Structure 1
Amino acid sequence: MTISKEGNNWKVDIRPDGHAGKRVIRRFRTKAEATRFEAHVIARAIENKPWNPKAIDSRRLSTLIEIWETEHSPTISSGWKYARILKSICEDLGDPVARQLTPMAISQWRSQRMKQTAVTTINQNLQALKGLFNWLSKRGHIDYPNPMQLIENIRTHESDRPFLSHEQIKTLLGYLPNHPHRDVATLIRVCLETGARWSEAQGLTRERIHPNRLIFTQTKSKKTRAVPINQELYDLILSNSGAPPFRHCETSARALLNSLLDLPKGISTHILRHTFASHFVMAGGNILTLQRILGHSSIQMTMRYAHLAPDHLEEATRLNPVSLGKNRESGTKAQ
């Protein structure tokens, strides 16, 4: 029996979904209340609805961003950067109730942004928002689907990654010994000769500098990696005027590169990393070795430089259908 007398109360003990289902126990002052509750539970079970549903999540997007910023942002590289992106998106969307954010609303926001912002920036924003909801879902902060799951990045043509020519490298190396700030000159050489990101080179400490290699720890992938160096670079890094700890001088380095080499607008110190990778491949370097040197988490990232390989270009002239046809004809005639 599901209703029974228990002292001065009436107890409801019921499994509305059968013996294997959830057990519901409640106590009431009167039998009439217990009977009405029992009927309510059974009716809800028939309708396949929970007898005690959770309150609807009415938190706004800004509240969820604050949770993400407190719990997760400190654990990832450039967490402050993504927090700024998320807050900007939240403001653009009018800080909606997060549960009510729909793919249509996001698509409309994306369309508006395309009128004033580069596609690559919009894609970065979309990934940040998608990552926010993925994290919230995994940590149990939300129990509804990710509104970003149906939103795809805007497809773009792959752009060329500019790199310095041999002439530009020669000009740069010729000027560096005369640069008044030794940190700038030293870090440019480190990035140019190891393919390191500027932040990785700038974060070098004395104990991570060895005569034949540098140990980078402050990496984007959070994995430590070692890159070989020659004696000349080792001596330069440890010279009295340019030894670590290095000051933050990326702005000065960017200004030097743009003024000395007349680079396209918007070029940053990352061109030094592209220059290392591009010349490494053009000289016949192995793409898997390059992946380890650059610290890419996937080979797909490194394959962006594969088209520069000399054998890649050679095969295009040797293995195209016209050349293959001529080779077959020559072989037939020879027989």
Structure 2
Amino acid sequence: MASIYKRGGVWYLSYRAGGRRVRKSIGNSKKLAILAQKEVEVRLAKKKLGWEEVRDPTFLEFKEEYLGYRKGNVQPTTYVRYKQNTRHFVDFLNGRGSPSSKLSQISFQLIEEYKQERRKAVKHSTVNVELKVLRALYNFAIQCKCARENPVSKVDFFRGVEKKPRFLQKEEIENLLSNSNGLYPVLYTFLKTGLRKSELINLRWEDIDFERKYIRVESKEDWRTKTGNTREIPITDDLIGVLNKLSKTSDYVFLNSKGRKYGFHLTERVKRLARSIGISDMTVHALRHTFISHLVMNGVDLVSVKELAGHSDIKTTMRYAHLAPGHLRKSIDKLPY
């Protein structure tokens, strides 16, 4: 509760908030002090009941605030995806003639309508990604006291069959490497380390410890790892031999034909190479899948695979568990009775 008192001709308001006593000078009007007391008591009661007042910006306004927050915490490519996904929802609001909708005015029914409209244009999995972005935006809005509830949490996502990771068979690996057309060091490093594309193109000579035979993956001032974590990957003598043959004219290990750090066009170059030799559904990320899949198929335990791959959650690694059909049997066989 709040109370008022007079001292030296001035009225004061006193109340407790956050475990401490707050005192404020109101002035020489008792009437004004009583009004301030009632207002504070209402505000404290609302907070106690979980009715704390929140800002209620428009979606368009808060979208910019949210993107500003995400920009400093994710990879540039991830930020671009967040920007695109929120833009789709803004376009949807514009199409309905309600571009200035406030966060509180967006209901789960409206989100469901958006879901149904988007499914006509893109795959279900893409719609799910867009819904996840909206859900994250609202969770952030709740933390910022700009929303009281998350309408996206009441919407059912599309269910789909989980797609198994595409990886190369041994014969495909041999075919790819023997026809690598100058990409051999890049492809071989992918296959021997399981690096993500951004990790490989940002790899520097200082990250390779030739003496200890390790590659260190860690964030830099101008680049951040996907999870923000640092990990070390052991490397073989064969890979060391390949790396030692590369030019050291730059801080970066892998350079394109112009002597510059590889860009994201590396994806298309690898795809073209794979298509030219008859390897279908081939992406740069499939090389990472290949590294992980063959580790699992050759009996490496999933916890070790998780560490080598740099997965932040074992659930991601479990996507490959089906490749080791005997792993549950081996676990049971270890019982001492």
Could you tell me the TM-score, scaled by structure 1's length? 0.74
In the alignment, is residue 263 of structure 1 matched against residue 274 of structure 2? Answer: no
In the alignment, is residue 278 of structure 1 matched against residue 293 of structure 2? Answer: yes
2:86 and 2:306 map into 1 onto residues whose CA distance is 31
Q: Which whole-Å deviations, capped at 9, do the CAs of 1:24-80 have from their partners, x for residues lacking one?
A: 975587x8xx399759949x96xx779xx9988452212111112223322222223
Which of 309, 322, 325 is the matching residue for 2:324? 309
- Where structure 1 has 5 or more consecutive residues not aligned to the other structure, the ranges are 320-335
Which of 271, 289, 294 is the matching residue for 1:254? 271
1:209–1:215: 8 Å Cα contact kept in structure 2?
A: yes
- Where structure 2 has 5 or more consecutive residues not aligned to the other structure, the ranges are 219-223, 256-260
Shift of residue 259, structure 1, vs aligned partner: 2.8
Number of matched pairs: 299
2:195 and 2:14 map into 1 onto residues whose CA distance is 66
The RMSD of aligned alpha carbons is: 3.8
**Would the alpha carbon gap of residues 54 and 256 (structure 1) be closer, same or farther in structure 2, given more than 3 Å must change?**
same
Read off the aligned partner of 2:60 and give its amino acid letter. S
Q: Which whole-Å deviations, capped at 9, do the CAs of 1:120-149 have from their partners, x for residues lacking one?
A: 2111111111111222332x2514222223
Equivalent residue, structure 2, for 1:223: 229
Which of 239, 254, 258 is the matching residue for 1:244? 254
Shift of residue 276, structure 1, vs aligned partner: 1.3
**Would the alpha carbon gap of residues 210 and 110 (structure 1) be closer, same or farther in structure 2, given more than 3 Å must change?**
same
Deviates more, 1:291-300 or 1:208-217: 208-217
Equivalent residue, structure 2, for 1:170: 174
Q: Is the radius of gyration larger for structure 1 or structure 2? A: 1
1:21 and 1:84 map into 2 onto residues whose CA distance is 47
2:303–2:314: 8 Å Cα contact kept in structure 1?
A: yes
**Would the alpha carbon gap of residues 304 and 26 (structure 1) be closer, same or farther in structure 2, given more than 3 Å must change?**
same
**Would the alpha carbon gap of residues 37 and 185 (structure 1) be closer, same or farther in structure 2, given more than 3 Å must change?**
same
Equivalent residue, structure 2, for 1:82: 82
Could you tell me the TM-score, scaled by structure 2's length? 0.74
Equivalent residue, structure 2, for 1:159: 163
2:5 and 2:242 map into 1 onto residues whose CA distance is 86
Shift of residue 197, structure 1, vs aligned partner: 1.1
**Would the alpha carbon gap of residues 99 and 22 (structure 1) be closer, same or farther in structure 2, given more than 3 Å must change?**
farther
Deviates more, 1:128-137 or 1:292-301: 128-137
Which of 307, 315, 327 is the matching residue for 1:292? 307
Q: Secondary structure at the match of 2:113?
A: helix
Q: Secondary structure at the match of 2:215?
A: strand
Q: Secondary structure at the match of 1:136?
A: helix
Equivalent residue, structure 1, for 2:69: 71
